[in-house]
Structure 1
C-alpha cells in the first residue's frame, strides 16, 4: 500500500528510519492524525508557556519552533519542528507547559488526543518502539544544540544548524537535490544560535563567500555538503537515521 498523501506521511517516513512499520501501524497512525486538524498562521503561537497541555500536536505541514522568553523580552529558540515532528509526545504528564511553541510559517497540525496516543503505543509494538526512538532523537538534538552554543564558533554554529535542517528535511523527502526550504529570518537564526543579527549576517556572507551555500529567498542550497560538514564538524550520527527501517520490507513487519 502506498502511503504518499497520507496525513501522517512525513511522520511515517521519519519513523521508518528507526524501525520497519507494518501497514496496520501506518493505518493506525494516519487515522489518529485525522481526528482533528487545524491551520495556524505564521508567527503565531500554538501553545503558550503556562498553558495546560492538551494532547499531542503533529506538524503536518510548515515549520514551528519551541522557545523560551525572558521577562525583558529576549527569546531563545530551543528547537525547530518540521513536517513529521511531534510536539512533545509525552507532554500530557505535565501540569503546565514549561515553554511555548510558535509557528515560523503557516502550519497545519493534527491534534492527537492523549488517549489515542496511549492506544497507539499499547496496541502497536513496532510503532511504540519507533516513537520511543523519535523521543530519543529529539533529546539528542537538544544535546547537540547545547554543544553548538557552548563550544562552536559562529561559523560552525550556523553551518551546523544548516546541515542539521537540511539532513532532517532530506530524511522525510522534503529536499530537491541539494536545495531545501529555509523560511527563517536572520533574527530567528540569531535567537537560535546565540548571536546578534549583525553577526549572523556576517557569518552567512562568509559561508557564501567560500562557496559552501547560497540563499535565494526562502531557499537554501548547500553546494558542497560534505565540505560544509567537515568545516563545521557536523556528524549526523545524533539524528540516528538509516537504522533497520531503511533495509526491511515494511510488509514483512
Structure 2
C-alpha cells in the first residue's frame, strides 16, 4: 500500500475506507532516484506531487557562494512537495540524500481528491501545515539554539518521527546521511558539526557513526535539546 506510511504518520482526521482507496488510486507511478540526484529543481513548472516511500530526501537552497542550507529532511511517508499543487513550482530544490523510491501524484488527481472529500482535503492540508511547523522549529534551531543543541534536537526529531512509522530499533535508528549533511541542516560548518558530535558522545547522550544513531540516554538527550513533540502534532 503506497500511502500506508503517510497515513501512519498523519492519523487524524481518520479516512473512510473509500477515501483511503481514492488516495491510494491517485498515485500514478513509482520511481527510483540514486543518492544526490535532483528530484525537483527550483522554479521548474510542476504538474505532480511526490510522496517518499523509501530513503531520505532533502529540501535545500544553495547560495551563490556555494553554501547549502538544508531546509528539511524527509522520511518515508512524507509528501515532499505537496505545496506544489497550488503553487505549481517551488522556490527551492528537492534531492535524494540516499537512494530513494517515490510515488508521484498528478496535480489533477490531487484536485479530484479535494473535490471528492472534505476529510481528504483536511488531511492533505493538515500534513502541509505540520510540514510548515517543522520548518519553523528548524528556524528556531538555527537562529536561537547552540550548535550542540541543534544537533541533539535534530536527532530527537528524527528518532520520534521514525519511531512513529516503525523504523527504529529500541534507541537506535538508521540515518544514512553524512556529517556534511548534518552541518548543512543545522547551519554549521562540517568541522564544527564534527566537534559537536564528539561533545554529544562524550556527554553520553547520543552517538552518530556511519549512518547509525544510537541514543545513549533518551531522557537526558531530550532535556539537553529542550525537545517537545508539540510541533509535530502527533494527535
TM superposition score normalised by structure 2: 0.95
Which residue of structure 2 lines up, in the alignment, with residue 208 of structure 1? 201
Which residue of structure 1 lines up, in the alignment, with residue 4 of structure 2? 9
Give the drift of 1:96.
Answer: 3.6
**Structure of greater relative contact order (alpha carbons < 8 Å, 6+ residues apart):** 1
Matches within 5 A, 1:125-136: 125-136=118-129
Matches within 5 A, 1:53-202: 53-94=46-87, 96-202=89-195
Which of the numbers 204, 209, 229 marks the counterpart of 1:236?
229
1:23 aligns with 2:17: yes
Work out the CA distance in 2 between the residues paired with 1:69 and 1:98. 11
Q: Residues 52 and 96 of structure 1 are in contact (CA less than 8 Å); yes or no, is this contact kept in structure 2?
A: yes
Work out the CA distance in 1 between the residues paired with 2:83 and 2:138. 21
Which residue of structure 2 lines up, in the alignment, with residue 250 of structure 1? none
TM superposition score normalised by structure 1: 0.89
Aligned residue pair count = 235
Q: Residues 85 and 110 of structure 2 are in contact (CA less than 8 Å); yes or no, is this contact kept in structure 1?
A: no
Give the drift of 1:114.
Answer: 0.5
Give the drift of 1:95.
Answer: 5.2
Q: Secondary structure, in 3 states, of the residue corresponding to 1:211?
A: coil
Work out the CA distance in 2 between the residues paired with 1:93 and 1:30. 20
Q: Residues 154 and 203 of structure 1 are in contact (CA less than 8 Å); yes or no, is this contact kept in structure 2?
A: yes
User: Given the superposition, is the C-alpha separation of residues 95 and 136 from structure 1 closer, same or farther in structure 2, using an over 3 Å criterion?
Assistant: closer
Q: Secondary structure, in 3 states, of the residue corresponding to 1:87?
A: coil
Work out the CA distance in 2 between the residues paired with 1:105 and 1:25. 31
Give the drift of 1:93.
Answer: 3.0
Q: Secondary structure, in 3 states, of the residue corresponding to 2:35?
A: coil
Q: Secondary structure, in 3 states, of the residue corresponding to 1:39?
A: strand
Work out the CA distance in 1 between the residues paired with 2:218 and 2:75. 20
Q: Unpaired segments of 5 or more residues in structure 1?
A: 1-5, 244-253
Q: Unpaired segments of 5 or more residues in structure 2?
A: none
Work out the CA distance in 1 between the residues paired with 2:150 and 2:211. 20
Q: What CA deviation, in whole Å up to 9, does each residue of 1:180-228 have, x standing for no partner?
A: 1111101111111111111111111111112111234222121222211
Q: Residues 57 and 100 of structure 2 are in contact (CA less than 8 Å); yes or no, is this contact kept in structure 1?
A: yes
Q: What CA deviation, in whole Å up to 9, does each residue of 1:107-166 have, x standing for no partner?
A: 111110001111122212322222222111111111111110111001110000111111
Q: Residues 22 and 113 of structure 2 are in contact (CA less than 8 Å); yes or no, is this contact kept in structure 1?
A: yes
